[in-house]
Structure 1
Amino acid sequence: MRVLIAPDKFAGTLTAVQAAEAIAAGWRRHAPDDELDLAPMADGGPGFVDVLHVALGGRLDAVTVGGPHGTPVPAVVLRAGETAYVESAQAVGLHLVSGSPETASSRGVGELVLAAVEGGATTVVVGLGGSGTTDGGAGVLSALGAVADGDLDGGAAGLASVTSVDLSAARARLEGVTLVAASDVDSPLTGLFGAAKTFGPQKGIAEERIAVVDGWLEGFAAATDRRTSLEKGAGAAGGIGYALLALGATREPGIGLVASAVALADRARSADLVVTGEGAFDFSSRAGKVPYGVAAIASEALRPCVALAGQVLVGSREMRALGIESAYSLVELVGEERAFAVPADALADLAARVARTWSR
């Protein structure tokens, strides 16, 4: 039997590569003769560059950029031919926020883009997701040369004084460069479904401050490019998507970009079963997340797809709506303590149990 193993990361415990290896180890325990094809996945968030490096090869160049509050942080630029791939979470990830989320700046992402361009890239793909910023991408624009009558590097709070923004220098710096925003988020920059309202609370912005931050973003959009702020994906990564779109980027779903890079459709057609997974499998997985994307590709290939997850938070009806035949919970099998203490071993145990049901 041929099994395609294509999980996302298990946030906080395993990278996508580690998760794929753990699932494979457990599967072999029960079905050593099965042919396993490992295809770690990502949706543009943490792990985006690592997954693409495994799939594409290329060269990783180490760089140092400013973190959300200006502290230098290490990151990498993946160069594959004339295309460079960078990951927002490496520069301004939620795990790097050490002060007020209202002052967290996205400048480090702009510095990553600049490093890619200065290294000779003619196409720069920016993975969006997992950011700790909600500054509308103002820091990105500043790093690339945009100027304003206020503080573009002061996070969302800095936008309170911004009434005009000039993007001409930033656009000139990127002349001849194709920008791609790899995002799993459809949100606009502002409003009921915007960056502050949708993602602000998980970044630490207090509920009573959401309207204030959204107001700052509204003002920033009015000063920069109001029409673009309404586009799908403008709210991705706290508005980094907006900054990239304002500079002429095209938007591509992260899962689609990675799936294409790893030739997932072809590999699914060659498999008898597709196994995916992520840390928490819930109905938000439909919004461009890895399991839904993998399941859609499996469905097109007429192959069944099952999911392994830290937690399964949907019922069978919702699961089927997501294209998943069955989903299996790590916490239910081994308990929350062991799932976090020895995640690779626990995931291998779960995979062995799933193999008993699905392997021939």
Structure 2
Amino acid sequence: MLVAPDKFAGTLSAAEAAAAIAEGWHRHAPDDVVTCVPVADGGPGFAGVLAQALGGRFEAVVVRGPLGTPVPVELVVAEGTVYLESSQACGHGLEPTVDPMRASTAGVGEAILAAARFRPRRIVVGLGGSVTTDGGAGLLAALGATADVSLADGPEGLDGVEEVDLSAARQVLDGIELVGAVDVTAPLLGMFGAARVFGPQKGMDDEQIWRADRLLDAFVDVVCGTAPHERRIAEEPGTGAAGGLGFALALLGASLTPGTDVVLDAIGLDTHVAAADLVVTGEGAYDITSRSGKAVFGVAAAAAERARPCIVLAGRVDVGAREMRAMGVESAYAVADVVGEEAALADPSRHLADLAARVARTWSP
């Protein structure tokens, strides 16, 4: 059996979730052979999972957090590539206060600058879990971009922008392949863009969401041009990832690819699936958004390709049977359905293990 969960956001890392599921499963089926392979998309946990899979070394750097507080970022150096996780520089919980209109991605740019000093062939940036919606303007500023406004003061800092010069930022990364490992397929602007879809979870009210989207729209006009064909880059899937970090990386010539694909290729998931008779994956909230570049969907797709049954263990399940089957999942089980959401959050490891023991009664060979 293969256990390949993503993180349970805010409670368990992917590795902790895998260990809890394995421990609970063995309570009922001690003779089952369980292989644990934690997974991730481009969000929190991305760097750690890759370091474990690739045997890379960690290099720590200190960068600016979203509101300027110094925060540590771990770079994973492996086989000519440096991997880093944007959420470590601009994610949740890094600052004592929340100010979504001033939160900046400058720290991500500083981390990329540090990564470039290792002279890698490639830099891969995991995108997800951010509190920022600045279109990656802060990242560009940290890499040397200049403008007639402050690019490092969040979306509010873009007010009145008329000139941006990206030449210095592009020069810093000359000769290095840049990859954005995105956790969503959202574009930068509009109804399905960075501000309107993800603004509420970053603390934005309706007026701030509207304003941020308008400021980003004006930013696109300046850095790309006003003609529809010039602005097309902002419509590309993934440019809205991490509050528009995907857009900034695309401006620098990066390819945007699902973070799940990067991780699953690195850990050799297909080989693990082929050797298993059952695949168990999971995440904190299994819902319809799991289909949009999330790790659980990638694991289920890999299981379907090998005709292996796949089940999901989650903190909460908000997917109906039809949607579940469309995602390649046979059944999904929620900790909250057994003990309630409050208890599930209070002791997530124990209750996830208990759920796994219950599920093993049905699914263990």
1:314 to 311, 314, 319: 319
Q: Counterpart of 2:68?
A: 70
Q: Counterpart of 1:254?
A: 259
Whichever residue aligns with residue 242 of structure 2, its letter is A
Moved more, 314-323 or 11-20: 314-323
Q: Counterpart of 1:135?
A: 134
Kindly report which structure 2 residues correspond to 1:74-93, keeping only aligned pairs within 5 A, or say none. 74-93=72-91
Q: CA deviation at 1:119?
A: 2.1
RMSD: 0.9
Structure 2, unaligned runs of 5 or more: 225-230
Whichever residue aligns with residue 239 of structure 1, its letter is G
Moved more, 335-344 or 160-169: 335-344
Note if contact 1:151-1:161 (Cα within 8 Å) is conserved in structure 2: no
Matched, 1:228 2:227: no
Note if contact 2:14-2:40 (Cα within 8 Å) is conserved in structure 1: yes
Moved more, 146-155 or 328-337: 328-337
Q: Counterpart of 2:305?
A: 300
- String of CA shifts for 1:190-220, please: whole Å, max 9, x gaps: 1111111111111111112211111100011
Q: Counterpart of 1:151?
A: 150
Q: CA deviation at 1:322?
A: 1.4
Note if contact 1:44-1:255 (Cα within 8 Å) is conserved in structure 2: yes
Q: CA deviation at 1:154?
A: 0.7
Q: CA deviation at 1:143?
A: 0.5
Matched, 1:276 2:274: no
Note if contact 2:63-2:73 (Cα within 8 Å) is conserved in structure 1: yes
Q: CA deviation at 1:72?
A: 0.3
| Secondary structure at the counterpart of residue 192 of structure 1 | coil
Whichever residue aligns with residue 307 of structure 1, its letter is V
Q: Counterpart of 1:163?
A: 162
- String of CA shifts for 1:220-274, please: whole Å, max 9, x gaps: 1111123321211111100000000000001110111100001001110110000
- String of CA shifts for 1:273-328, please: whole Å, max 9, x gaps: 00000001111111111111110000001000000000111121121111110000
1:29 to 27, 30, 33: 27
Whichever residue aligns with residue 166 of structure 2, its letter is L
How high is the TM-score relative to the length of structure 2?
0.96
Note if contact 1:96-1:132 (Cα within 8 Å) is conserved in structure 2: no
Aligned length: 358
Note if contact 1:89-1:130 (Cα within 8 Å) is conserved in structure 2: yes
Moved over 6 A (4+): none
Q: Counterpart of 1:324?
A: 329
- 1:250 and 1:352 map into 2 onto residues whose CA distance is 42
Matched, 1:118 2:123: no
1:56 to 51, 54, 63: 54
- 1:211 and 1:338 map into 2 onto residues whose CA distance is 37
Moved more, 242-251 or 191-200: 191-200
- 1:207 and 1:163 map into 2 onto residues whose CA distance is 26
- 1:189 and 1:284 map into 2 onto residues whose CA distance is 17
Note if contact 1:269-1:301 (Cα within 8 Å) is conserved in structure 2: yes
Whichever residue aligns with residue 65 of structure 2, its letter is G
Q: Counterpart of 2:186?
A: 187
- 2:171 and 2:178 map into 1 onto residues whose CA distance is 13
Q: CA deviation at 1:4?
A: 0.5
Note if contact 2:101-2:208 (Cα within 8 Å) is conserved in structure 1: no
- 2:187 and 2:242 map into 1 onto residues whose CA distance is 11
- 2:76 and 2:295 map into 1 onto residues whose CA distance is 21
- 2:190 and 2:288 map into 1 onto residues whose CA distance is 22
Note if contact 2:184-2:294 (Cα within 8 Å) is conserved in structure 1: no
